[in-house]
Structure formats: C-alpha cells, structure tokens
Structure 1
Amino acid sequence: MTNERSAATEWLENDTIQSLLKEHLDETDYRIYKALNEDGRMSDTELGERVGLSRTAAHRRRKKLEEEGIIDVLGVLVLQEADFAYADVFVKLSSEATVDELDEFLETVKGDEFIYEIEEYMGTYDLLLRVWHATLGDIQSYLRTQLQCHDLVAKYEAMPVTKTHKAWHKPITN
C-alpha cells in the first residue's frame, strides 16, 4: 500500500510529470509504467495489485500502452553485471552523405549485435552509439573495422564507461 500511495502522490504532486504526460497517460497508466519499470517481468495479477486494478484490467491497459508504443517491456543485458566492457561512441557523419546513404548506414548499425543503443544528436556529433564487447581492446578493434574506414564517418570519439549507477531507472549495485 505504501508503494501504491507514493506512486499516486508522485503523480499528483509532480507538476512536470503531469504536464509532460497528461496528453498520453492518466494516473493509472503512469503507475503501470512505474511498476513495470521496477520489474518488467511481473504478472498481470501482480501489476493489478500494485496499481489497484483487476488482473484483466491491468492486462488490457498494459497491452494498450504497448500497442500504442508508449511502453516497451524488454529484457536488458546489464553489461556491468556481466563484466563486459562498454563505451559511448560519438560519431560525426560526412556532410557529403546523401539521405539514402545515411539511412542505409543507420540500418546497418541498427542490426549490429554489439551496438545496443543509437541516439541522433544535433551539434558537434550526429550519433551516439553505445557499444559493448568482451574487453576495451575488443571495442577499439571493433570500432576500427566498423567506423574508421567507413566513408560516411567523418570522425568518432569513444569514451569507455567505467561504471553505471543507474540504467533504465533502476539502480545498479555491485
């Protein structure tokens, strides 16, 4: 009951959350998001208990949020816990590249199993690629083969991540 009450209170008292989300979510949708963010594997029965709905109503609302693309329940490999090396790689693309070439490059990196996140930016760099591998040396070799010789990549800068304190709104502890 304390978790339910604090989630409801957070929604009611946080004006920023209200203004950002009220076009797409109501209080119950937000509480579903918060609960699934803590444990995406919980059953619809447990979800319903956490947010004050029946199992059927919780299932229906969760499915609707998934179908609308508002939430996405996925499994995440916590690289730090698995003792893998990972890095943020900032990429500046060639200003000579055509839209089709850029789209093709994005499709290629989207399908790469060592890239687990891609963000587009405006400014000095165009893309952030989050990459992982067994060791930092493997990341360096991988980046040389994938980016250094690619015609669309004007430059890139890799920053190894030494520790993640919070990922996907969940604290990471060692």
Structure 2
Amino acid sequence: MAPQATPPNERLNNDKVKQILKKHLDETDYRIYKALNEDGRMSDTELGERVGLSRTAARRRRKNLEEKGLIDVLGVLVLQEADLAYADVFVTLNSDVDTETLEEFLEEIKHEELIYEIGEYMGQYDLLLRVWHASLSDINTFLRSLLQDHDAVGQYETIPVTKTHKAWHKTLSGGTE
C-alpha cells in the first residue's frame, strides 16, 4: 500500500517549533512523535499511514528516535481522569548539604512510585517533584514523611493541581473542578 499524503492539519506549521526542533527532529520525526503521543500502541503500518511513510520507513524512523533517546513510548496514568489527587512540590535544598547526601536523596526519590516526575531547576527552587496519591491529605502525609526531616531538604512548597487542561499534547476532559 502506498503511503498516504500527510493531511494538512498534521503538518508542522509553527515556525518557532520548527526552529527549536530542527537540530534533533525533522518535520516527519516530529509528526511521528505527535502520532505516538496520541496512541503509543499504534502499529508501524498505521503510523506510516498517519505520517505519509511506508511501514518499513515508519518503523526505521521510530526505532531510530527510540535509540537516540528522543522518544520513549510508555503508558501514562491520567491522574485527573482516575480521580486521583496530584501536586507540584517545589524543593529548596540545604546549601550546606554534602554531595553524597544529595546523591542519596536523589536516588531515594527516584524510586518513589508516588513521584512521577523530578525536574532540576535553577533559581529560587532546586527541584520540582510531581506527586500523586489518593487524596491531598495523603499527599501531605507522604511529603512530610519523605521531606520534612531530610538533611538534604531546606524547605518545600506544595501546590495542589486542581485540573490539567493539556498534557502530552492532549486536551484532557474530565476531572474534578
């Protein structure tokens, strides 16, 4: 089956995005990313049809993006759709903490299943932890036990997320208001 032409609404029209991505992804690779972001379980045949490539070319490009570490097809729990509580936690590290204690702390929080994202920041805060739990009260208890008396943590601020409108290039619909 010959690859279909890429639908106009699937083309990358934002010049700013093109400029940012041009070093790592061409327009076809970006369309592959967007298609897999919508449905990571789609077959290479369907992926090729979506982006205007043969099945073989789509698979080759997808595998290349995975090998370079530019995409990772994984499952994501959409917390608001599951009616779970989640929050952003901004952490300031103790300025006098030694490197070993800091590395141990980072390893510890990397293995916490209730933390789904860890970002390192410059500025007022050092880390952003994105956490989830059954309720905001459970998040509070979890964070106190994890952070409050840890030598690496100077202070932290928790900001509950009430609704996510867009994540992973998807518009999200449900959740509590």
TM-score of the aligned structures, taking structure 1 as reference length? 0.93
Structure 1: which 4+ aligned runs deviate by more than 3 Å? none
Q: Distance in 2 between matches of 1:80 and 1:2?
A: 36
Contact 2:92 2:125 in 1 (8 A): yes
Number of the residue aligned with 2:46: 46
| C-alpha deviation, 1:76, in angstroms | 0.3
What letter corresponds to residue 5 of structure 1 in structure 2?
Answer: P
Number of the residue aligned with 1:171: 171
Number of the residue aligned with 1:89: 89
Number of the residue aligned with 1:7: 10
Q: Distance in 2 between matches of 1:14 and 1:86?
A: 31
Unmatched 5+ residue regions in structure 2? Answer: none
Number of the residue aligned with 1:108: 108
What letter corresponds to residue 19 of structure 1 in structure 2?
Answer: Q
Deviation digits for residues 28-56 of structure 1 (CA, Å, limit 9, x no counterpart): 11111121122212111100001111111
Give runs of aligned pairs for residues 3-152 of structure 1, distance below 5 A.
4-8=7-11, 11=12, 13-152=13-152
Q: Distance in 2 between matches of 1:150 and 1:61?
A: 44
Q: Distance in 2 between matches of 1:51 and 1:91?
A: 41
Give the paired residue count. 171
Q: Distance in 2 between matches of 1:26 and 1:160?
A: 37
Could you say what secondary structure the match of 2:86 adopts?
strand
| C-alpha deviation, 1:2, in angstroms | 8.8
Question: Higher helix fraction: Structure 1 or Structure 2?
Answer: 1
| C-alpha deviation, 1:3, in angstroms | 6.5
Unmatched 5+ residue regions in structure 1? Answer: none
Tell me the percent identity: 68
Q: Distance in 2 between matches of 1:34 and 1:115?
A: 25
| C-alpha deviation, 1:26, in angstroms | 1.6
TM-score of the aligned structures, taking structure 2 as reference length? 0.91
Q: Distance in 2 between matches of 1:21 and 1:138?
A: 39
What letter corresponds to residue 47 of structure 2 in structure 1?
Answer: L
